[in-house]
Amino acid sequence: MAKLESNIVSAETSRRLFEERKNRALGYKVYLSVKRLTDIVASLIGLIISLPILLITAVAIKLESSGPVIFKQQRVGLNGKEFTIYKLRSMVKNAEAKTGPVWAKKNDMRVTKVGKFIRKTRIDELPQFVNILKGEMSLVGPRPERAVFIEEFSKDYPHFEDRLLVKPGVTGLAQVTGGYELTPHQKARLDLLYIRRQGLWLDIKVLLQTVRVVIFGDGAR
Q: How confident is the model at residue 188 (pLDDT cuts 50, 70, 90)?
A: confident
Please compute the mean of the pLDDT values over residues 163-167 and round it to a whole number: 91
Predicted pLDDT at 219: 53
The residue ranges of every structural domain in the chain are: 2-215
Q: How confident is the model at residue 101 (pLDDT cuts 50, 70, 90)?
A: low
CA atoms lying within 13 Å on the CB side of residue 189? 17
Q: Residue 71 belongs to what H/E stretch?
A: strand 70-76
Q: Report how far residue 156's alpha carbon sits from residue 149's, in angstroms, rounded to the nearest whole number.
A: 11
Predicted pLDDT at 86: 97
pLDDT at 202 over 80: yes
Q: How confident is the model at residue 78 (pLDDT cuts 50, 70, 90)?
A: very high
What does the mean pLDDT of the chain come to? 83
Closest CA to 174 of 162, 163, 182, 164: 182
At residue 114, φ and ψ (nearest 5 deg) are -65, -40
Determine the residue type at 208: L
b/e burial code for range 66-83 (CB count within 10 A of at least 16 → b) = eeeeebeeebbbbeeeeb
Predicted pLDDT at 1: 42
Higher pLDDT, residue 216 or 90: 90
Please compute the mean of the pLDDT values over residues 168-193 and round it to a whole number: 85
Predicted pLDDT at 24: 58
pLDDT at 52 over 60: yes
Please compute the mean of the pLDDT values over residues 199-211 and round it to a whole number: 93
Torsion of CA 156, 147, 71, 198, to 10 degrees: -70
DSSP string, 56-68: HHHHHHHHHSSS-
Q: How confident is the model at residue 73 (pLDDT cuts 50, 70, 90)?
A: very high
pLDDT at 3 over 50: no
Across 1-5, 140-144, 151-155, least confident range:
1-5
